[in-house]
Amino acid sequence: MQPNYCLKALIAGLLLIFLLPACKKNDSTNPRRNPPDNNTAKSINDSIFFIAKDIYLWTDALPDSATFKPSGYSSPIDMFHALTLYKKDAGNNVLDRYSFMDNGGTSRVLQQGIAGDIGFEVGYQTNTELRVVYVYPGSPADKAGIKRGWQLTAVNGVTSFRYNDKSTDDLLNNAFGSQSATFGFKKPDNTSQQYTLQAATYKLNPVLYSHLYDFSGTKIGYFVFNNFVALADVKPLIDSLFNAFTKAGVKQVIIDLRYNGGGLIETAEYLANKLVPAGKNNTEMYSQYFNSNVNTNNYSSYFKNMKAVPYYPTLNWSDIFYSEATTYKTAKFQKDGALDLTKVNFLVTRNTVSASELLYNVLKPAMTTNLVGDSTYGKPVGFINISFGKYDMYAVNFQTKNSAGEGDYFKGLKPQITAYDDYTTDWGTLSDPLLHASLLDMGIPAGSLGRMAKTDPNRLARTDANRLDATHFKGMIHTFRK
């Protein structure tokens, strides 16, 4: 019999397990199945290696410890990166572009919903032109009045930028990561403005913009959703938006996920249940797939006996993993609210990742929905996050598939309607290429939308070559729910 606890199934993302202590290496001739011992510990590298062997989705691709020699690496991050290089695709290219380690910053921002920075990001419109891509509400940048589409003309007195240039990269990284920096901007009206911004702590609001369009009685809801933060933090905003859409009689919704790198699973599920037709209630949303160790409850004894404190003090992590792979393998839709939609479009780019891709993928078999934009990042897998002292390890643990068995989009999801991003237009502007194309698809006459913005065909905003690809979080986090 499985443990009687309600741990909701994951949607291809990160499941945060913060307090797992580091395991220790054992001198046994079979360290894979005879785990580390506290009395024979050599390094945190061994701990990371043995746990990865237990729960990594592609564990069969990993070598044994004698071959890999985890203690021979100078740092846990270097060692873990070396592990991610073993899994290859059919073309012998490294498949695992996803697993990573950090110092806990990812979980602090997304699960706690707290950011501590200046609150905006820029991207390369061309090789030498940087534009504001988004600004978080309530951040120092937002309070200063900075808007999407403004051209960045100076950073701490430097006025020349170039894509893929180390000095420019260092300049931007230092400025955006500092406690104070001075930025110069050129606004759409050709006036210039300079701001010295101080980093500050603020609540992360992922709804960057929302609007209810009314085209001669055809009402379309639109909002920009930039992170799947904790549901408790964003639920009032989502409910308010969807209540307004319902009251207005909206039948079509556009969700702008073009820079959404993922976040908490519970929030993605909540949105899916808001959007799905009532007739799909209690039908499959998705299923998740783990490796054979998890499926058969066959772990090293150290992991098998490890208590899942403080969440479930009487249970072991192995019980939780096994239940996720069996009892809670499949999640079902639970329709929420009265919004009855005929179509949902998602605006996407290369920077649309993980939870964002999954939101579309689970709705695809359930209703009429399109991707508008460019191919997405391609992340149909997720993590169960393990903490090792100051390090958080995000090793791919599972893959998800929708009710039609679709979930192998490792090279990204291709849009039904192709359009390319442009950083010069502000949110909600009808000339924005992605929004314009989506409204046309929803039956709005071209004459009602005006002309699309005239864009430079050499703009980098339409390619992978922009700052976001290097700085944007890519993944999803799920919390325990009793």
Q: Tens of pLDDT along 357-390?
A: 999 999 999 999 999 999 999 999 988 777 777 8
So what's the pLDDT on residue 311?
59
455 and 367 belong to one structural domain: yes
Residue where a domain stops, chosen among 186, 203, 220: 203
Last residue of a domain, one of 203, 234, 263: 203
Say yes or no: 198 and 311 in one domain: no
255 and 220 within one domain? yes
Over range 222-242, report the average pLDDT.
94
Query: Which residue's entry shows tokens 């806990």?
Result: 104
With 80 as the cut, is the pLDDT of residue 303 above it?
Answer: yes
**Chain segment 145-164, per-residue pLDDT in tens:** 999 999 999 999 999 999 99
Half-sphere exposure of 425 (CA within 13 A, CB side): 20
Q: Which residue has the higher pLDDT, 478 or 382?
A: 382
Comparing 243 with 108, the larger pLDDT belongs to 243
77 and 147 part of one domain: no
Q: What is the mean pLDDT of the chain?
A: 86
Instruction: Assess whether 64 and 129 both reside in one domain.
Output: no
Query: Is 61 part of any domain?
Result: yes
Domain range spanning residue 56? 14-108
CATH number, residue 399: 3.90.226.10
Most confident of 3-17, 321-335, 454-468: 321-335
Residue the block writes with tokens 């240039």 = 165
Supply the pLDDT for residue 107.
Answer: 63
- Domain contains 131: yes
Give the mean model confidence (pLDDT) for residues 218-247.
Answer: 95
Residues 255 and 271 in one domain: yes
Both 92 and 146 in one domain: the answer is no
Domain membership of residue 97 (yes or no) is yes
Q: Which of 474, 473, 475, 467 is nearest to 173 (CA)?
A: 467
Same domain? For 350 and 218 the reply is: yes
| Per-residue pLDDT band at 472 (split at 50, 70, 90) | low
- Counted domains in the chain: 3
The length of the chain, given as a count of residues:
482
- Let me know if residue 390 belongs to a domain: no
Whether 1 is in a domain gets the answer no
Distance CA 260, CA 258 (A): 6
What pLDDT sits at residue 276? 98
Residues 316 and 366 in one domain: yes
Pair 220, 299 in one domain: yes
CA-CA-CA-CA dihedral for 360, 362, 364, 368, to nearest 10: -80
| Claim to verify: residue 238 and residue 189 sit in the same structural domain | no
Q: Given a cut of 50, is residue 18 above it in pLDDT? A: no
Give pLDDT, residue 389: 75
Which of 151, 156, 143 lies closest to 191 in space, CA to CA?
A: 151
Amino acid 24: pLDDT: 24
Does residue 387 fall inside a structural domain?
Answer: no
